[in-house]
Amino acid sequence: MNDKGGSKNPLAWLLHASLVMLGASIALNLAVTFLQPIVPWLIAGFAVAFLGWCVVVFIRWRRSRW
């Protein structure tokens, strides 16, 4: 192995790149699988927070008119 640029062997470079892509695809698949059950709860939480923020902005706007 070369210290500065990795290996000079194209086959080793291709194998390394393929393994990195395989690992990334497995990690992405696991992340989607684990997040899938809680995504509706996350969306609902953001929606409730946004509605609360809208109510606060509306109340502050109504009070500032006087």
Pair of tokens at residue 25: 């695809």
Per-residue pLDDT of the chain (66 residues), as tens digits, is 555 665 678 899 999 999 999 999 999 999 999 999 999 999 999 999 999 999 999 999 999 876
Residue numbers of the domain that contains 47 = 38-66
Q: How far is CA 22 from the centre of its chain?
A: 19
* 4 and 26 share one domain: yes
* 31 and 45 share one domain: no
Look at residue 66 in the predicted model and tell me its pLDDT. 66
* 31 and 42 share one domain: no
* 30 and 49 share one domain: no
Look at residue 7 in the predicted model and tell me its pLDDT. 62
Look at residue 65 in the predicted model and tell me its pLDDT. 77
* 1 and 30 share one domain: yes
Nearest-5° Cα angle at 22, 16 to 26 = 145
Look at residue 21 in the predicted model and tell me its pLDDT. 98
* 2 and 27 share one domain: yes
Look at residue 8 in the predicted model and tell me its pLDDT. 77
